[in-house]
A = this chain, B = another copy of it.
Amino acid sequence: MKFHCSVDVRLKPGLLDPQGKAIEGALPAMGWTNVSDVRVGKHVEFYVEARDQTTAVAQVHEMAERLLSNPVIETFAIRGVEAFAGLTFEDRP
């Protein structure tokens, strides 16, 4: 079975986020003075072929922990692991 998976990766709260700061810095010039605490993270989407959802979730968890995020500075959240019925590109005949 194919699962569509989606993982969010965020910088840990105590760390300064240079990209977020830059966005905050640009806001007033555009007329927005009511925005605060901008944080820029990543989100990664992909498909996993697995026996069942539990297996898929376990693998996504491992990938997120070992590869997609760096525990020293980041946290991650699995946003979704959903059975996917359509064809992805790689399924072409």
- Residue from B27, B36, B42, B63 in contact with A40 in the complex, judged by beta carbons closer than 8 Å: B42
Find the B residue at minimum CB distance from A59: B32
B residues in contact with A35, CB < 8 Å: 46-49, 63
Complex copy number for this chain: 2
Q: How far is the CB of A59 from chain B (nearest CB, A)?
A: 7
- Verify if A26 is at the interface (C-beta below 8 Å from B): yes
A11-42 at interface with B (beta carbon < 8 Å): 13, 20, 23-24, 26-27, 30, 32, 34-42
- Verify if A72 is at the interface (C-beta below 8 Å from B): no
Check B40 against A44 for contact (C-beta < 8 Å).
Answer: yes
B residues in contact with A45, CB < 8 Å: 10, 37-41
Find the B residue at minimum CB distance from A56: B34
Q: How far is the CB of A51 from chain B (nearest CB, A)?
A: 10
